[in-house]
Structure 1
Amino acid sequence: MAKTKSTKKHAKKHSKGWLSSLWSLTWKLALIGIAFVTFYAIYLDQIIAQKFEGQKWHLPAQIFSRSMALYPGAAVNHPQLMAELKLLGYRKVANPRQVGEFSASSTRIELWRRPFLHPEGNQAEQRVMISFDSLGVNSVQRMSDKRELAVFHLEPVLLDRIIAGDGEDRLFVPKNEMPSLIVESLLQVEDRSFYEHHGVNPFAIARAAIVNITAGRAVQGGSTLTQQLAKNFFLSSERSLIRKVREALMAIIIDFRYSKDEILEAYLNEVYMGQDKARGVHGMGLASQFYFGRPIAELTVAQQAFLVAVIKGPSYYNPWRYPERAQERRDLVLRILMENDKLTVAQYKAAAESPLGLRDGKKSVHQKLPAFFAVVKNELRNRYGDSLLNQSGVKVYTTLDPMAQDAAEKAVLSTLKSLDKRAKNVQVGMVLTDKYTGGIAAMVGDKQPGFEGFNRAVEIRRPIGSLIKPFVYATALAQGDKFSLASPLADKPITLTNEQGKTWSPKNVDKQFSGEVSLLEAFANSMNVPTVNAGLAIGVENVANTMQNAGWSEPIAPYPSMLLGAVNGSPLMVAQIYQTIADEGRYRKLTSITAVLDSQNTPLAVTHSASEMAIDPATDYLVQYAMSQVVAKGTGKRLGAAFPGVKLAGKTGTSNDSRDSWFAGFDERNVAAIWVGQDDNSKTGLYGSSGAMAVYQAFLQQRPPLSLRMPPVQGIVNGYFDRTNGAPMQPNCHNVINLPAHNVSYQPAANCGEPLSWWQKLLGE
């Protein structure tokens, strides 16, 4: 009996010792666990703080087009502005009632412009009336006070974003600029207790677990918006208990450290919304552009509901692939809003009955402009170094005119397809500039404009042929006391011998000689022999100087053959010197960039080249006039016939054996330089008029030209010249031609070579 009591006492003592050891081990492990969780939470807190309080995202560099300027006299016609507004996603209505809308009559457009960031500062929304006449813009009137505006800008087109290595694309929108219905929809559908919980909602997790167990599969999630944000920001998509615990812990920390509005803003700009080829579309701001092609502030109720609907599964609810599925999900979001008194029944019905309203899914939201972007990147590199485009939030404002680019690409595609039937494997390089600003308006470097490879607009060096002739004649006409448009030039066989004894005998294209022709006739018909004679008379070196003053960027060998275009260049180089002619003789270095802003929207320093007078304006006027005659009745008359009543200036060019076809010319808006040829320099059988000029003609059919104005220039008079010998004559004389001329070259005789009349004798003439 005593032994039994002793055994029980020993067992009880042993049990207490075991429990004590277990308790001791438990609280020690608990302390270790708490310490581990605490230190891990501190570690996570540092990671979270670094992300939230630093740079949350690497925002891609944004590349913008030019901002269309409207002012009295601007060379912008009614159809061009209509096309621009369509490109920008403005809605045509009977009466504009909100930002992003416009109405139009045959001569006026009423527009409610969006606010936007201009390089010169923020531009507020504004309602204006734009009136047009036959020359372009007649007036721009502000509707609020009927004041006439000196200049009015449209927002530029966002051409593309330069994506960082992570492949994520986004357009940041602050929460205070996010439509309230999107925020409300998000909370109703994804996390109704968002403002009550502390990052994790245990009740939602339990409810989801019961539903999923009952269904036998995962049909409902219990994650809060904060947990989703933590996963998107910091974690992978791995499905594991450890990842879920880490997600929950991070959500609690985020909720503790930051306000609900900060969390919402981060979520709205981080959430994955779809896939644009290799680019992930993140955030509501970019999703609005991706799905609907317009700013998020202008979306309808139905469109806003769709953005929230697609969060559940961007691939599953892809509206272009599965429109019925996507619309059903959108309507569910609308119904939830109605049931929770966020929409009236009437609003719900109107929204649910509306189509999805998607942008054209066949057209990319990114402008594929390999030739132009190569020039932009090179200019940025030269100005700011290699690292600029890797910086977050940079905004680059370029000179590109999206309408001109679109017309150029269509012209190249259609014309090169046709030319391939005559000359196989021909290629093209094309540059368009803005006549008024000196910026590159469009560029195509391949017959497949979107092909990213050899950029023929910039990189080729081919003989420019007769495109040099305007500079030969500009050099001659600058000597107003010796040359006029009526001056006779010899058109007879000529042979030149160089220092090595080699001879050169230039010939006209038709192998014929006229004996003598006027300077204007030689120019208009691109005659070789008279051009050589004029060039030799004024000096080959002087012609080279004229070209280099006009902006030719590479050395020119001053040999006589240069007078007929034995000078290698690119379409960009040709565009530069023809821009000088179009700009009344003023040289300005062509550029592709107007401004660059950093992430704080502070302009970076830009040094613009000063403009210089390369060709005297009076001489330049005569060259422009002669180029207009090329189109009216010379080698470019086919172009003139295609656009009757429109004054255009141009010059065709063809290298030896028809290897290179060139055209350069301009209307009141754009200067064009176009090359057509083969990469292996073989014969094409194309002349300037049948190859490159055909591309320009197709361009003008896509983008109707504005007739040249050519206002009077000081130093130019309206003169009369003898058709036979070019002598200045009186207006009433026989066999005379009326031409513009330098003051100094127009000093007509007192009579027409006939005996003086009695009154002339009386006056002592």
Structure 2
Amino acid sequence: MTTKAKTKSKSTKTRKSGSSWLARLWSIGWKLSIVLLAFCSFYSIYLDQIIARKFEGQKWHLPAQVFSRSMALYPGAAVNHPQLMAELKLLGYRKVANPTQVGEFSASSTRIELWRRPFLHPEGDQAELRVMISFDSYGINSVRRMTDKRELAVFHLEPVLLDRIIAGDGEDRVFVNTEAMPQAIVDALILVEDRSFYEHHGVNPFAIARAALVNISAGRTVQGGSTLTQQLAKNFFLSSERSIVRKLREALMALIIDFRYSKDAILEAYLNEVYMGQDKSRGVHGMGLASQFYFGRPVAELTIAQQAFLVAVIKGPSYYNPWRYPERAQERRDLVLRLLMEDNKLTVAQYKAAARSPLALRDARRSAHQQLPAFFAVVKNELKQRYGTGLLKESGVKVYTTLDPMAQEAAEKAVVSTMKSLESRTKNVQVGMVVTDKYTGGIAAMVGDKVPGFSGFNRAVEIRRPIGSLVKPFVYATALTQGDKFTLATPIDDNPITLKNEQGKLWSPKNVDKKFSGSVPLMTAFKQSMNVPTVNVGLKVGVDNVAQTLANAGWSEAINPYPSMLLGAINGSPLMVAQTYQTLANGGRFRPLTSITAVLDSQNRPLEVNQLNPVQAMSPAADYLVQYAMQQVVRSGTASRLGQAFPGVALAGKTGTSNDSRDSWFAGFDERNVAAIWVGRDDNGKTNLYGSSGAMAVYQAFLAERPPLSLRMPAVEGVVQGYFDRSTGVAMSADCGDVQALPALTQSYQPAANCGQPLSWWQQLLGK
């Protein structure tokens, strides 16, 4: 074979070999492509199912929201001008010269004009409303709608969001739908994070390429190319791991999300999912919660500058923390404002005004959620009893409680300041305090430790200590019900007595001063908290009857009917005492104390609540006499120091001290609240404190923080103004000699004829 032929044959073989290799490569390639396409298709279907479940089901587990009571304003309501001003401040309302929008109010010395926010109330949605509220010396005088000057029967303020009870992932958020989101936030978000959001299909190749060039030039990551949709995919479904596989998965999910859902739906999800900061152990997610976290008010009420800040902080919540780095945060906010101006979303004047404004953050000293361990423990226990253990794990539950935020704040301040003072006199003292609403029977405030935020042993509920003289109003209530035997002027024996106690030992009760006066009027024995006369009264009416009076008033545990119980040898807690004194304060009507008024499920449907109607546990007339006597305790009795601190204010109270000054108690009320306070040591050691020097000091500090409303004593059927001889206690006419005026039961008040003097012969002759 010639050389030419050999070369041609070799060339032919080479071409055949090359064609064969290409054919094999093509064969493998298209088969691999089919496999890869099938894999991508199946993987996309898998991702699509994951995305659909998230987007079309429940996107987030929303924490259970716990609200305070909703302040009710109506003519005659026991709410004064300073109290309402403080409530509005707590709710984040802005004081202005003339309200022009929701969330604003103006005030004079006797009136407040308010533009209320719309809110969800357990009884139904409450629309925004502009009203004029007028005050008099008793509280609310009138509430008038500004549009037509019509007087309203009742007007509610929105409750304070106390806390969100988080279950599971530790994420915290308040959902805000797209319609309620300020347009400036949406505009700024798109300008700063994804300018081509409405043009791309979930992934922006040009942005990715641009970011890559910038990062290569800088030698580090300084710019991201992710779209809002990619960020949402990462936040919803992926970790923050930096890898090619994760980025590819993120891009594929973004394409699926953009294909399946509208841009508005994607924006809404992003605005409620984006990480906005850290509140201690809680992650703050979404614009709704971030608005409350940074500014203490709803997102719809934020200024342009505040809205711009929320968008600015997305880039790095820790780096732009406004409390730690205010200059850095303001600089970033101003950049967002400038971008809005350059895009003609703001005028130059609006930009300059916004850029000059301060960050206007909420007070960092006030937590974004309340530290209320004692009260929340009671709420959770009541929820468990009503609905079982699973309720708080459900998404979107709303719990409306009875807590009065202003009363709680006053109670905490009173406890902290007083206990600090008492510690200088006696060591290791502790405290438990319960405040209730006189009219509703709701728990308005609760403190279970001298450090109010401490979560542990709740002394307001869990202690069982002798209540001492706090039992005495129920001894006298039992006696005064028997109007034919006892009046406030009846002389009571005050001489040494000896009885057998429950262990069969001899018991000789003594007065605090170890003295005996022979005989004292019942009123004096009551207001001076004398022991021996009280025991004598209790023995005459029957210890069993006294125990029954206390039980009718709401005492929830068994009472041993021994004579020593007449001086408070029964163990209780501040909550148990508050329950019984609530009955005294409310005209003798018993209603179980509660911490919850309503519960709504995730669809805002009310869950069933069995609320008991008040029961008349004590005679209203006898209760009136006891309330009158308790006012004398404050005016000139064992609590006179309290009366001196608040001259001209009618208050009712009772001090209590257990044996050897181990427990200091006080219970009392004004027109608005009932309070029960214990001060003592956990080891039951001596404190050297009386009721007036320990627990009453806490109550006095509480009223200093929350000025009291004077008790109103409206006329009660069956009670008349009586007059009694000072020395004998015999009922007399008003025009007789040395008499004292005291209220008395109508049925038993029969003034002695002729002022108790024998009739002369001519009076007998005339039949007088």
Asked if TM exceeds 0.5, the reply is yes
Q: Which runs of 5+ in 2 are unaligned?
A: none
2:241 equivalent to 1:238: yes
Q: How is 1:700-719 mapped onto 2 (pairs within 5 angstroms)?
A: 700-719=703-722
Structure 1 position 294 matched with structure 2 position 297:
yes
More displaced stretch, 32-41 vs 202-211: 202-211
**Contact 2:501–2:564 under 8 Å retained in 1:** no
What is the CA deviation profile of residues 36-78 of structure 1, one whole-angstrom value per residue up to 9, with x for unaligned ones?
Answer: 1111000100110111111100100000000000000000000
CA distance change for structure 1 residues 618 and 59 in 2, over 3 Å: closer, same or farther?
Answer: same
Correspondence for 1:621: 624
User: Which whole-Å CA distance do the structure 2 matches of 1:194 and 1:762 have between them?
Assistant: 111
Task: Determine the C-alpha separation between the residues in 2 that align with 1:499 and 1:353.
Answer: 77
Does residue 461 (structure 1) correspond to residue 464 (structure 2)? The answer is yes
1:134 aligns with 2:137: yes
Comparing 608-617 with 293-302, which one deviates more in the overlay? 608-617
**Cα–Cα, structure 1 residues 255 and 757, in superposed 2: closer, same or farther, change >3 Å?**
farther
Greater alpha carbon shift after TM alignment, 246-255 vs 725-734: 725-734
Partner of 1:56: 59
What code does the residue aligned with 1:707 have? S
Q: Name the counterpart of 1:699.
A: 702
Q: Alignment partner for residue 45 of structure 2, among 42, 57, 75?
A: 42
> Which amino acid is the alignment partner of residue 191 of structure 1?
D
User: What does the per-residue CA deviation read over 1:380-406, in whole Å, with 9 as the maximum and x for residues that have no partner?
Assistant: 000001111011000000000000000
Q: Read off the aligned partner of 2:559 and give its amino acid letter.
A: I
Given that residues 78 and 140 in structure 2 are in contact (C-alpha distance below 8 angstroms), is that contact kept between their aligned partners in structure 1?
yes
Q: Report the Cα distance in structure 1 between the residues aligned to 2:634 and 2:378, rounded to whole angstroms.
A: 31
Q: Would the alpha carbon gap of residues 475 and 213 (structure 1) be closer, same or farther in structure 2, given more than 3 Å must change? A: same
Pairing partner for 1:117 from 120, 127, 140: 120
Larger displacement relative to structure 2 (241-250 or 210-219): 210-219
Give the structure 2 partner of residue 204 of structure 1. 207
Q: Which residue of 2 aligns with 1:69?
A: 72
Q: Determine the C-alpha separation between the residues in 1 that align with 2:488 and 2:646.
A: 25
Shift of 1:357: 0.7
Amino acid at match of 2:167: A
The counterpart of 2:392, out of the listed 382, 389, 398, is 389
Alignment partner of 1:414 out of 403, 410, 417: 417
User: What residue is the counterpart of 1:646 in the other structure?
Assistant: 649
User: Which amino acid is the alignment partner of residue 736 of structure 1?
Assistant: V
Q: Which moved more, 1:563-572 or 1:157-166?
A: 157-166
- Give per-residue Cα distances to partners, 1:203-231, cap 9 Å, x unaligned: 11111111112222211111110000000
Please give the alpha-carbon distance, in whole angstroms, between the structure 2 residues aligned to 1:146 and 1:79.
24
CA distance in 2, matches of 1:393, 1:498: 56
Give the C-alpha shift of residue 477 in structure 1.
0.3
Task: Determine the C-alpha separation between the residues in 2 that align with 1:396 and 1:762.
Answer: 77
Q: Distance in 1 between matches of 2:193 and 2:500?
A: 87
Q: Is residue 169 of structure 2 the alignment partner of residue 170 of structure 1?
A: no
- Taking structure 1 as reference, are residues 41 and 748 closer, same or farther at Cα in structure 2, changes over 3 Å only? same
Paired position in structure 2 for 1:108: 111
Instruction: Give the deviation of 1:749 after TM superposition.
Output: 1.8
- Aligned pairs for 1:248-647 (under 5 A) are 248-497=251-500, 501-647=504-650
Name the aligned partner's letter for residue 110 of structure 1. Answer: E
Indicate the SS of the match to 1:752. Answer: helix
Identify if the C-alpha distance between structure 1 residues 700 and 499 changes in structure 2 by more than 3 Å, giving closer, same or farther. closer
Shift of the 284–498 alpha-carbon distance from structure 1 to 2, 3 Å rule, reads closer
Which stretch shifts more, 372-381 or 605-614? 605-614
Residue 754 of structure 1, CA deviation: 3.4
Q: 1:89 and 1:498, CA in 2 relative to 1: closer, same or farther beyond 3 A?
A: closer
Q: CA deviation at 1:757?
A: 7.3
Establish whether residue 746 from structure 1 lines up as the match of residue 749 from structure 2. Answer: yes
Question: How far off its partner does 1:501 sit?
Answer: 4.7
Amino acid at match of 2:493: A
Paired amino acid for 1:467: L
Shift of 1:362: 2.2
> Deviations for 1:560-618, whole angstroms, at most 9, x for unmatched residues?
00000000000000000000000000000000000000000000010112321111100
Q: Deviations over 1:235-287 (max 9, x none)?
A: 11111111110000000000011111000000000000001111110000000
Once the 2 structures are TM-superposed, how far is the Cα of residue 326 of structure 1 from its aligned partner? Answer: 0.6
2:32 corresponds to:
29
- Distance in 2 (alpha carbons) for counterparts of 1:198 and 1:89: 41
Aligned equivalents of 2:501 and 2:360: distance in 1? 72
TM-score of the two chains, using structure 2 as the length reference? 0.99
Residue in 2 aligned with 1:8? Answer: 11
How many residues align? The count is 765
How far, CA to CA, are the matches of 1:453 and 1:656 in structure 2?
Answer: 27
Stretch of structure 1 that moved more, 244-253 or 158-167: 158-167
Partner of 1:660: 663
- The whole-number CA distance in structure 1 between the counterparts of 2:7 and 2:348 is 84
- Note closer, same or farther for the CA distance 1:744–1:154 as it changes in structure 2 (3 Å cut): same
Write the distance in 2 (CA, Å) between the matches of 1:317 and 1:757: 98
One-letter amino acid of the counterpart of residue 410, structure 1: K
Q: CA–CA distance in 1 between the matches of 2:179 and 2:479?
A: 65
Amino acid corresponding to residue 323 of structure 1 in structure 2: P
Distance 2:385 2:613 in 1: 18
Distance 2:500 2:154 in 1: 59
Note the C-alpha offset of 1:753.
2.9
Tell me the CA shift for residue 761 of structure 1.
5.6
**1:754 and 1:55 mapped to 2: Cα distance?**
87
Secondary structure of the residue aligned to 2:190 is: helix
Deviations 1:434-481 (A, max 9, x none): 001000000000000000000000000000000000000000000011
1:675 aligns with 2:698: no
Instruction: Quote the Cα distance in structure 1 between the aligned partners of 2:480 and 2:147.
Output: 52
1: CA distance between counterparts of 2:500 and 2:189?
Answer: 84
- Alignment-derived partner of residue 23 in structure 2: 20
- Report how far residue 756 of structure 1 moved: 4.5
Q: Distance in 1 between matches of 2:346 and 2:492?
A: 83
Aligned residue for 1:20, secondary structure, equals helix
Q: Distance in 1 between matches of 2:418 and 2:665?
A: 14
3-state SS in 1 of match to 2:609: coil
Q: Per the alignment, in what secondary structure is the counterpart of residue 415 of structure 2?
A: helix
Structure 1 residue 760: Cα displacement: 5.7
For 1:498 and 1:371, how far apart are their aligned partners in 2? 37
Return the match for 2:687 from 684, 693, 698.
684
Q: Identity over the aligned pairs, expressed in percent?
A: 80
How far residue 193 of structure 1 moved from its aligned partner, in angstroms, is 1.0
Select the residue among 68, 74, 83 that pairs with 2:86: 83
Residues of 1 paired with 2:762 and 2:432: CA distance?
64
